[in-house]
Amino acid sequence: MKQETSLNFLEQFLPEGTFEQIAPFFKTHTIHLTLTHERKSVLGDYRNPYGDQPYHRISINATLNKYSFLITLLHELAHLLTYVHFKNTVSPHGKEWKTQFRHILIPYMGKRIFPADVEKALHAYLHNPAASTCTDAQLYKALYRYDDKKPGFKLIDDLGLNQHFATDDGRIYEKLEQLRTRSRCRDLKSGKVYFFQGIVEVKHIRRKQVA
């Protein structure tokens, strides 16, 4: 389900004191903002004016925590600014977009808007911003701490060795070894060993739950 929202409605999704800095973007540019609740792998999206839709279109996953929401919104606004300056002549996440993103994110740094762990990860991330915060493990893990989590769910990196977990398809694994960005895990049913990215969210299964 998608919901088109008024500008004032946006304030409840943002960290305190940041709405006033975001609002001018919507006064300067004609933006249709859509909040969506269904996407898991896509945090936000930008579409430039085209044909019978002569306005900028931004959609944001409304289930994001307020820090992720702000970063994602600024990410998409950086796409808007890049389009305004360069149209479609540059790479979507090239140096032009990186410059715009840094330019509009830096004013939020050092003002206690973000928790200390998120701000530290953001500083590192800004050296070379990626297409998604999901591709930066340290930033993703810092932001994940502020999510509303379902009971029992954790990142694989946060599981101890020899602990069990279930994936979305119901298969159960044991974490055998923690590597730098991945973990070596064994499928309890087949005995086969697989490697999982550390930022994958799984359901922690206690040993007594494993029949």
pTM of the model: 0.88
Question: What is the percent of the chain where pLDDT is above 90?
Answer: 81
Give pLDDT tens digits for 154-195: 999 999 999 999 999 999 999 999 998 899 999 999 999 999
User: Is 153-209 CATH 2.30.30.30?
Assistant: yes
Is 50 in a helix, a strand, or coil?
strand
End-to-end CA distance of the chain: 38
**pLDDT category of residue 3 using cuts at 50, 70 and 90:** very low
Q: Where are the domains of the chain?
A: 2-144, 153-209
Integer Cα distance of 94 and 78 in angstroms: 11
**pLDDT category of residue 39 using cuts at 50, 70 and 90:** low
Integer Cα distance of 145 and 139 in angstroms: 10
